[in-house]
């Protein structure tokens, strides 16, 4: 019997096995933490072993056509309007604009009608624009790999952007089915790790209950307070834009605490400069130190050019961007060197969540809970002071 993984650390949830199965014997099912894992229908499985062979996370990923050391640039789009709605410097917009100008197809990450983060397909700027900005949730791949296969077969230029494990998975999937990738541009992100879709869903419901209204958009990286602030924003159907309350910043805190990341992220094989893509994007953190005149607090992208194809794509968009070549040593994000560590509170968090629910773990494991306890204590003290004053007046 085929076993796709022995422990959860061995599965990044990329969906390559699901996509490649000729018998449709694999489905992606959520576990108790909300992460998708492949499940084999033994009645359909013919044990062809394609699912095992396509796994780039366990088998290693292709690096042969990558440069030994990537070319490194600090980049920002020439349009401030583009940068204002981008997480950093607007590289995704510049590249996808070029693909769309060739009547091509853009694959990126958006939210569906239920606010589920997933990969989607766009052939126009309106749909493409919904992909701009980081989404700090593991996206569902669904039928994306097969759709890309179809688009490439029909001769369309395609750009795909995702986490490095998703990019490597797509590459291996297309290789396994002998699909041409000549017109495919692969772009990955420097990834801190992917948080639980279940926790994101719980967070949205928590905020909606608190506000008394439905969230129509969550902006993971708003620039309302500038690029360096890294501010979240909830936009409600009644028009409220909340980026100031403690609750609006809760999800970011859980994400960066690494308490809700997928187990495989802590064993990530892509945390190095040998990328599984043509181009790699990230925020150019530290730009204010190495090149302060280039930093205007509106966002600067770090761009790694990993292949000749990536370099050719870069040449085509130079008229849309301002850029300066840099040294790789100036911009080595932690996750270009090693995987993010496991929080020592992770097991306790999930145990408490399963038993007592989201509201409890928010109060126990975030500053929101600490601040609320402080506020509660202050209110109790003030009430006590008023009671003492009242007693004093009566005695007088």
The chain-wide mean pLDDT, for the chain, equals: 93
CA proximity to 215, closest of 253, 246, 247:
247
The pLDDT of residue 376 = 44
* φ, ψ dihedrals at 354, nearest 5°: -65, -35
What confidence score (pLDDT) does residue 387 get?
62
- Token pair for residue 363? 């109060």
Question: Given a cut of 90, is residue 389 above it in pLDDT?
Answer: no
Model confidence, pTM: 0.92
- Over the Cα atoms of the chain, what is R_g? 23
Has residue 209 got a pLDDT over 90?
A: yes
The confidence band for 383, taking pLDDT boundaries of 50, 70 and 90, is low
Query: Which residue stretches of the chain are H helix?
Result: 16-20, 50-53, 56-59, 80-84, 91-101, 125-129, 144-153, 164-176, 197-211, 250-256, 287-290, 308-316, 346-356, 358-365, 367-395
pLDDT tens digits, one per residue of 166-204:
999 999 999 999 999 999 999 999 999 999 999 999 999
pLDDT for the residue numbered 382: 58
Quick check: 269 and 9 in contact, CB under 8 A?
no
378 Cβ contact partners less than 8 Å away, ≥ 6 residues apart: none
Which domains, and CATH codes, for the chain?
8-59 (3.30.70.20), 71-195+261-336 (no CATH), 197-259+344-384 (no CATH)
Confidence of residue 65 (pLDDT cuts 50, 70, 90): confident
List pLDDT tens digits, range 239-287. 999 999 989 999 999 999 999 999 999 999 999 999 999 999 999 999 9
Phi, psi of 121 (to 5 degrees): -110, 140
Give the whole-angstrom CA distance, residue 366 versus residue 346: 13
In the block, residue with structure tokens 């639980």 = 196
- At 87, the pLDDT band (50, 70, 90 cuts) reads very high
| Rounded average pLDDT over 353-365 | 95
User: Residues 334-357: pLDDT tens digits?
Assistant: 999 999 999 999 999 999 999 999
């Amino acid at each position: 019997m085929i076993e796709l993984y022995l422990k959860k650390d061995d599965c990044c949830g990329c969906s390559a096995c699901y996509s490649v199965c000729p018998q449709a014997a694999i489905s992606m099912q959520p576990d108790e933490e909300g992460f998708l894992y492949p499940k084999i229908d033994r009645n359909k499985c013919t044990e062809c072993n394609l699912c095992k062979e396509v796994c780039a996370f366990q088998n290693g990923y292709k690096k042969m056509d990558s440069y030994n050391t990537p070319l490194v640039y600090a980049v920002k789009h020439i349009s401030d309007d583009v940068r204002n709605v981008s997480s950093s410097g607007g590289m995704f917009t510049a590249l996808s604009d070029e693909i769309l100008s060739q009547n091509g197809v853009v694959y990126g990450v958006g939210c569906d009608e239920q606010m589920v983060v997933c990969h989607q397909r766009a052939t126009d700027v309106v749909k493409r624009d919904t992909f701009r900005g980081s989404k700090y949730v593991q996206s569902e791949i669904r039928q994306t790999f097969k759709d890309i296969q179809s688009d490439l077969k029909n001769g369309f230029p395609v750009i795909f952007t995702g986490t490095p494990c998703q990019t490597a998975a797509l590459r291996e999937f297309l290789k396994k089915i002998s699909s041409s990738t000549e017109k495919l541009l692969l772009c990955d992100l420097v990834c801190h790790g992917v948080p639980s879709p279940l926790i994101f869903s719980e967070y949205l419901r928590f905020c909606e209950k608190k506000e008394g209204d439905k969230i129509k958009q969550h902006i993971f990286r708003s620039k309302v307070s500038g690029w360096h602030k890294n501010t979240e924003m909830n936009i409600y159907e009644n028009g409220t834009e909340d980026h100031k309350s403690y609750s609006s910043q809760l999800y970011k805190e859980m994400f960066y605490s690494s308490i809700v990341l997928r187990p495989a992220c802590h064993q990530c094989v892509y945390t190095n400069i040998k990328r599984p893509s043509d181009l790699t994007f990230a925020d150019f953190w530290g730009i204010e130190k190495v090149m302060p005149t280039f930093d205007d607090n509106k966002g600067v992208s770090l761009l790694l050019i990993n292949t000749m194809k990536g370099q050719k794509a870069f040449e085509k968009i130079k008229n849309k961007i301002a850029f300066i070549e840099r040294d790789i040593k100036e911009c080595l994000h932690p996750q270009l060197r090693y995987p993010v560590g496991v929080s020592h509170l992770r097991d306790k968090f999930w145990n408490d969540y399963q038993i007592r629910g989201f509201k409890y773990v928010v109060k126990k494991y975030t500053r929101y809970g600490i601040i609320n306890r402080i506020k509660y204590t202050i209110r109790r003290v003030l009430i006590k002071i008023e009671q003492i004053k009242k007693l004093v007046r009566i005695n007088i």
